[in-house]
């Protein structure tokens, strides 16, 4: 066997091993992406502790102080929310006995009269419409959550996230060295520039996400206090924490509260909370707050931010909340390298 044959066989072997690893880890790509996201969000804490405690202890403290509490809270809330929604039988709700439709109809009349209209609808018709909408949404919501929340699988992925986040924090710098060691001298400088830009893009994107959750927590606290929601501060902290997690967001706080107030007859407070949450805790963060924060931190175009944090999850599912920013960050790093070459 000559040298050329040996090199060809080695290339085939390396390619085979690489494809086998991709095949093996494919079901857990979302888990690895989420671990990377948590590592970058915890990196500011890790960088502060590292000079004083060393790599290992800094990574452990970061896990204990920030990442593990966030993951545990998110897991518990998702589990309880799934159990709650699965126990609800929307068909059995008696809207007429709770006077919800009548009160909602009166509210519509009062609101429309402010603008010079007298808008009322037949209560039976409105009740039928509400029942039809809820009946249509019920199986969709339950099936979607059932697919997302296969609890044993989520528990396994949670453990993988914690371990991988620890190693990403502790040994993440080794990845860059391992990649550069295999790069020919001709492409070394360009590859190093790309990896540096990639690191900055990821760091700023995910840190920007953490800052967004803080902003959401502050806004939610102000809104809850103005509307008159009890324990506004605690709910604001919970809302901010939930906004940091995939799938979990401000809606997990304000929607159940809105439903509770509507069902207990406090129609005005329920609708106020629902509108406030929809505008300031769901729409505003994705279209205004997050793009502004991330744009300020990393100079990534707002359209790319929307692709990362909106289109990514819609296309890739749960993993898209982490994989979307990873893909967009890689694109941004490539664009920066190309821009530098053109200049």
Per-residue pLDDT, 96: 44
List of long-range contacts for 45-48, beta carbons under 8 Å, 24+ apart: 46/169
pLDDT band per the 50, 70, 90 thresholds, residue 94: very low
Using one digit for the tens of pLDDT, what is the confidence trace for 37-81? 888 888 888 888 888 888 889 999 988 887 888 777 666 655 655
Looking at residue 138, its pLDDT comes to: 61
- Within 8 A by CB and 6+ apart from 34, the residues are 161, 246, 319, 321, 322
Q: Contact, 200 vs 337, CB < 8 A?
A: no
DSSP 263-284: HTT-HHHHHHHHHHIIIIIIIH
The pTM score is 0.63
Sign for the CA dihedral angle at 43, 49, 51, 55 comes to negative
Q: Is the pLDDT of residue 226 over 70?
A: yes
Binned at pLDDT 50, 70 and 90, residue 206 comes out as: confident
Share of the chain above pLDDT 70, in %: 70
Q: How much is the pLDDT for 93?
A: 47
What would the two tokens of residue 50 be?
């590292």
Banded model confidence at residue 150, pLDDT cuts 50, 70, 90? low
Helix (H, G, I), strand (E, B) or coil at 240: helix
* Residue whose structure tokens are 């915890």: 42
- Do you know the residue count of the chain? 343
How far is 179 from 192, CA to CA, in rounded Å?
Answer: 9
Cα–Cα dist 92/67, whole Å = 40
Smallest Cα–Cα separation from 249: which of 173, 310, 326? 310
Q: What confidence score (pLDDT) does residue 215 get?
A: 83
- Identify the band that residue 32 occupies on the pLDDT scale cut at 50, 70 and 90: confident
Nearest to 78 by CA among 219, 337, 251: 251
The whole-angstrom separation of Cα 5 and Cα 202 is 40
Contact between 165 and 40 under an 8 Å Cβ cutoff? The reply is no
Q: Summarize the confidence of residues 284-289 as an average pLDDT.
A: 76
Cα→Cα distances 144→17, 85, 152, Å: 35, 11, 17
**Separation of CA 320 from chain center:** 8
Between residues 192 and 140, which one has the greater pLDDT? 192
**pLDDT exceeds cutoff 60 at 299:** yes
Task: Encode 68-123 in three state secondary structure.
Answer: HHHHHHHHHHHHHHHHHHHHCCHHHCCCCCCCHHHHHHHHHHHHHHHCCCCCCCCH
Residue 276: the pLDDT is 92
pLDDT for 22 = 85
Q: How far apart are CA 323 and CA 32, in angstroms?
A: 9
Q: At what angle do helices 290-298 and 185-227 cross, to 10 degrees?
A: 150
Residue pair 328/205 in contact by the 8 Å Cβ criterion: yes
Find out whether 31 and 157 touch, Cβ atoms under 8 Å. Answer: yes
Q: For 254-278, what is each residue's pLDDT tens digit?
A: 888 888 787 777 888 888 898 998 8
According to the model, what pLDDT value does residue 95 have? 45
Supply angle C-alpha 169, 171, 172, rounded to 5. 65
Of the listed ranges 6-20, 57-71, 161-175, 202-216, the one predicted with least confidence: 202-216
pLDDT of 291 over the 80 cut:
no
Cα 252-71-320 angle, rounded to 5 deg: 70
């Amino acid at each position: 066997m000559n040298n050329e044959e040996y090199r060809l066989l080695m290339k085939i072997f390396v390619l085979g091993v690489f494809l086998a690893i991709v095949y093996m880890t494919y079901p857990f790509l979302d888990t690895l992406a989420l671990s990377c996201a948590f590592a970058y969000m915890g990196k500011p804490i890790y960088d502060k502790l590292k000079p004083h405690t060393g790599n290992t202890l800094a990574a452990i403290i970061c896990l204990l102080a920030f990442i593990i509490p966030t993951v545990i809270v998110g897991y518990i809330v998702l589990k309880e929310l799934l159990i709650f929604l699965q126990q609800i039988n929307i068909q059995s709700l008696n809207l007429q006995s709770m006077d919800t439709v009548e009160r909602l109809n009166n509210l519509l009349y009062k609101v429309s009269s402010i603008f010079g209209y007298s808008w009322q609808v037949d209560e039976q018709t409105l009740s039928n419409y509400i029942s039809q909408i809820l009946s249509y949404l019920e199986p969709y919501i339950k099936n979607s959550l059932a697919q997302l929340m296969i609890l044993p699988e989520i528990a396994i992925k949670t453990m993988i996230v914690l371990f991988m986040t620890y190693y990403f924090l502790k040994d993440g710098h080794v990845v860059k060295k391992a990649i550069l060691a295999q790069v020919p001298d001709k492409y070394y400088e360009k590859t190093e520039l790309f990896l540096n830009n990639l690191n900055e893009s990821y760091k700023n994107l995910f840190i920007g996400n953490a800052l967004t959750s803080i902003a959401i927590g502050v806004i939610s606290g102000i809104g809850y206090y103005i509307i008159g929601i009890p324990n506004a501060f605690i709910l604001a902290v919970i809302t901010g924490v939930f906004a940091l997690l995939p799938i979990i967001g401000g809606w997990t706080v304000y929607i159940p509260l809105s439903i509770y107030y509507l069902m207990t007859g406090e129609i005005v407070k329920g609708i106020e909370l629902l509108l406030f949450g929809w505008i300031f805790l769901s729409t505003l963060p994705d279209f205004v707050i997050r793009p502004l924060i991330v744009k300020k931190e990393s100079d990534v175009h707002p359209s790319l931010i929307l692709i990362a944090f909106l289109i990514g999850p819609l296309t890739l599912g749960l993993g898209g909340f982490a994989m979307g920013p990873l893909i967009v960050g890689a694109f941004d790093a490539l664009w920066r390298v190309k821009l530098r070459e053109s200049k």
